[in-house]
């Protein structure tokens, strides 16, 4: 098994759009959503927007059908399946919401490839209205990160994932993302890790401004086909490097065990035979 954890952002990384905007635009609520954003944080505004759509008679089925039309490239699907088959552990860290992400992944038969989805909670209440809540409840306590939006610090999520991953000997991370919220977790990566920013998107621009701020190696991508090519190359390179290191350690260990004794060095004493 490859000791690699691959962490995907969702919007504009796995899917080629922003899932919140996709639904709002598809259901004809773009102008109202823009108005809500003038006075509310994004996460709070999308929850309010879902409530207003419900009051207008929009159903969960309509929202689900809209999500199923969100663009997801066959190249991205192939990359996910290939990375999983190579023994990588796949996780999602996203500022979307659980209902949107699971609806899209289930539609494409991908949800089972991910061991964990870290995102804003989203569920349908008893009235059939979609509720969306913040990952970090900033109304009671702040996560304390000045780089991230109030509802979610992805860097803190990566810290937790790293702790659990090291416990089971997953020692290398590959992080894929596009937005400003993906910069904080990129800073949490170590030497030997990789960050894959989408070219000409906010994460890529932030990294280009100060590439030395990151310890991880940087490998950009532009579209889904390049995402697949770069990701699988990094996985294969990592596996080959780990195998070579293991072979060198084994070879060194064997040499140590076969070093001849000095002519003046006494032979080791035999162990006493138990009676």
Domain ranges of the chain: 4-17+72-119+141-237
- Number of Cβ atoms within 10 Å of the Cβ of 63: 21
pLDDT at 143: 84
pTM above 0.85, yes or no: yes
Architecture of domain 4-17+72-119+141-237: 3-Layer(aba) Sandwich (3.40)
pLDDT at 240: 84
User: Residue 116 belongs to what H/E stretch?
Assistant: strand 116-120
Q: Which of 11, 18, 20, 178 is catalytic?
A: 11
Classify residue 194 by its DSSP letter. E
Block mean pLDDT (10 aa), the chain, length 275: 88 98 98 97 96 97 98 98 96 98 98 97 95 86 86 94 73 95 96 96 97 96 98 93 67 57 49 43
pLDDT at 167: 55
pLDDT at 247: 64
Q: What pLDDT digit, counting tens, does each position of 10-48 carry?
A: 999 999 999 999 999 999 999 999 999 999 999 999 999
Compute the half-sphere exposure of residue 55: CA atoms within 13 Å on the CB side of its CA.
7
Classify residue 6 by its DSSP letter. E
pLDDT at 3: 86
Query: Burial level of 60, CB count in 10 A (0-12/13-18/19+)?
Result: middle
pLDDT at 275: 44
pLDDT at 260: 55
pLDDT at 6: 97
Residue 11 a catalytic site member: yes
Contact 124, 148 (CB under 8 A): no
């Amino acid at each position: 098994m490859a000791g690699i954890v691959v962490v995907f952002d969702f919007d504009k990384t796995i899917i080629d759009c922003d899932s919140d905007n996709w639904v709002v635009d598809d259901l004809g609520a773009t102008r109202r959503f823009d108005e809500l954003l003038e006075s509310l944080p994004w996460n709070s505004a999308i929850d309010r927007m879902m409530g207003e759509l419900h009051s207008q008679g929009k159903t969960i089925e309509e929202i689900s059908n809209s999500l199923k039309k969100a663009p997801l490239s066959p190249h991205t699907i192939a990359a996910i399946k290939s990375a999983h088959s190579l023994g990588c552990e796949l996780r999602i860290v996203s500022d979307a919401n659980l209902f949107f992400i699971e609806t899209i992944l289930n539609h494409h038969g991908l949800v089972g490839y991910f061991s964990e989805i870290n995102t804003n909670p989203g569920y349908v209440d008893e009235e059939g209205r979609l509720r969306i809540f913040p990952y970090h409840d900033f109304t009671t306590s702040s996560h304390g990160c000045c780089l991230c939006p109030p509802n979610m610090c992805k860097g803190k999520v990566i810290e937790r994932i790293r702790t659990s991953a090291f416990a089971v000997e997953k020692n290398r991370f590959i992080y894929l993302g596009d937005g400003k919220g993906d910069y904080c977790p990129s800073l949490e990566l170590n030497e030997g890790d990789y960050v894959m920013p989408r070219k000409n998107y906010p994460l890529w621009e932030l990294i280009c401004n100060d590439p030395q701020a990151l310890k991880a190696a940087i490998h950009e991508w532009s579209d889904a086909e390049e995402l697949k090519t770069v990701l699988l190359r990094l996985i294969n390179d990592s596996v080959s490097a780990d195998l070579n290191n293991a072979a060198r350690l084994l070879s060194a260990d064997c040499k140590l065990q076969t070093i001849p004794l000095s002519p003046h060095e006494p032979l080791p004493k035999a162990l006493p035979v138990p009676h």
